[in-house]
Structure 1
């Protein structure tokens, strides 16, 4: 492989790690705010949300350690991810317990599609980063299943699913640029 192509591949690997790190921070803040509201309005789902939050904290630490180990800078939009996640978590929780599950399903559907592409790319270019991404996939699939099985499939929630999906796609795209 020529040197220029290797550099391009490593830049893409760094972008992947940076985006996943930022996304996990967003997820942490989504769940924190949903838990905040759920403790008041939906006490029966707090434990499940806390469990999902613990997964996201572990994922964040996985990517944070990889960034640190490799001397890769974090995404410049980390504060935006944190604020956006907190806002999304608070608003969806206020929209109702079903909106929490629709939000989870929408985000994880988008993220899993993104992870599949990443895994394919990383399998060819970086075994360690591939292993890091692969290590989070089962949890994200579990979260998606929880979102699908607990959410009510009603047309009233389609706008929430769509807005969350497009917001997630935009955040991912922005993170590749920042």
Structure 2
């Protein structure tokens, strides 16, 4: 995605014909994506702080992913004003939760770091897919931004999966817990709109 395309997407507004409820959903999409990226920044930041002392070999990967998340967070924040969206009211939970999750998984070892990354990025990728389906014909600007970001989120997921050396019951449990918590935070931050978008996508796939 070229910078020119992204710059145009940031100032583009929602389609004029869409319903007020859909405009509200778009505002919530930006809000939760911005909060989620901030939470990811906190996860990677905490993991890097611990890994520098315990697992220095993973720091370059984490640092690269942190840089991507900072860019993603900035893109969503920039797109907010033209769509009457504001930062999430529960940002402090994303911040604290991200830091605690990153700190604890880093202490638990390299594999826990990659399990955490895989779980978070898989959940994010799934929700971004739902959002892209919803945004088609409603807000092409936000759709362009998410398409650009989703490429890097998938790369993060691939990196994590490449470093995982199989899974054991404890790792599967950790993956499941992180997935549930991520889905719950997204649901709360969108006031349940994430469920509606996932349902719409399933219906469209069934034809």
TM-score per shorter chain, which class? over 0.9
- Partner residue in 2 for 1:37: 50
Gaps of at least 5 residues in structure 2 are: 1-15, 193-207
Shift of 1:135: 1.4
1:83 equivalent in alignment to 2:96: yes
Gaps of at least 5 residues in structure 1 are: none
Shift of 1:5: 5.9
1:133 equivalent in alignment to 2:163: no
1:174 equivalent in alignment to 2:173: no
Higher helix share: 1
4+ runs of 1 displaced by more than 6 Å? none
Shift of 1:6: 1.2
**What root-mean-square deviation, in Å, do the aligned CA atoms of Structure 1 and Structure 2 show?**
1.6
- Partner residue in 2 for 1:97: 110
- Note closer, same or farther for the CA distance 1:4–1:128 as it changes in structure 2 (3 Å cut): closer
Task: Map Cα deviations across residues 57-94 of structure 1 (whole Å, 9 max, x no partner).
Answer: 00000001011343421110111101100010001111
TM-score by length of 1: 0.94
- Note closer, same or farther for the CA distance 1:5–1:58 as it changes in structure 2 (3 Å cut): closer
